[in-house]
């Protein structure tokens, strides 16, 4: 299995875990925030499940499909994280439409958007570093 396909499989697992966060006892606080930082709703769960499905299908298809997934997924999630840093709301879960610009502490914005920034950035980097595996 190529490193691109393996990376897509790892993204499948990570995204399935993200979708399951609200349903694993002990990972949310009394206010329903995962790790006490961010609250996930049905939009987030649906987004994570759709992304996991996309990653899994790409991994099954080919290294090229996996590279395309990593690149485009990375762009979408990283830019969502950047928008979240600037406005306090992302676009992938319709937060910018539902809640608009939010006045929340910058430290909180960093913690809440770090998963998308990290996952998106690492996906883009993987699509570039392992690009020779996808003809």
pLDDT tens string 7-59: 999 999 999 998 888 777 776 677 667 666 667 778 888 999 999 999 999 99
Close Cβ partners of 7 (under 8 Å, ≥ 6 residues apart): 66, 70, 123, 126, 130
Stretch 88-116: mean pLDDT, rounded?
Answer: 90
C-alpha Rg value of the chain to the nearest Å: 15
Q: What residues does each domain of the chain span?
A: 3-133
Interatomic CA distance for residues 41 and 93, integer angstroms: 9
Average pLDDT, the chain: 90
């Amino acid at each position: 299995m190529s490193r691109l396909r393996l990376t897509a499989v790892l993204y499948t697992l990570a995204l399935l875990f993200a979708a399951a966060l609200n349903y694993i006892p002990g990972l949310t606080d009394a206010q329903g925030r995962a790790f006490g930082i961010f609250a996930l709703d049905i939009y987030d769960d649906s987004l994570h499940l759709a992304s996991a499905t996309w990653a899994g299908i790409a991994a099954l298809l080919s290294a090229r499909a996996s590279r395309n997934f990593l690149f485009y997924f990375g762009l979408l999630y990283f830019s969502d994280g950047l928008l979240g840093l600037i406005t306090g709301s992302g676009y992938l879960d319709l937060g910018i439409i539902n809640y608009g610009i939010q006045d929340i502490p910058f430290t909180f914005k960093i913690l809440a958007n770090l998963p998308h920034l990290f996952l998106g950035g690492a996906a883009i980097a993987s699509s570039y570093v392992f690009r020779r595996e996808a003809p």
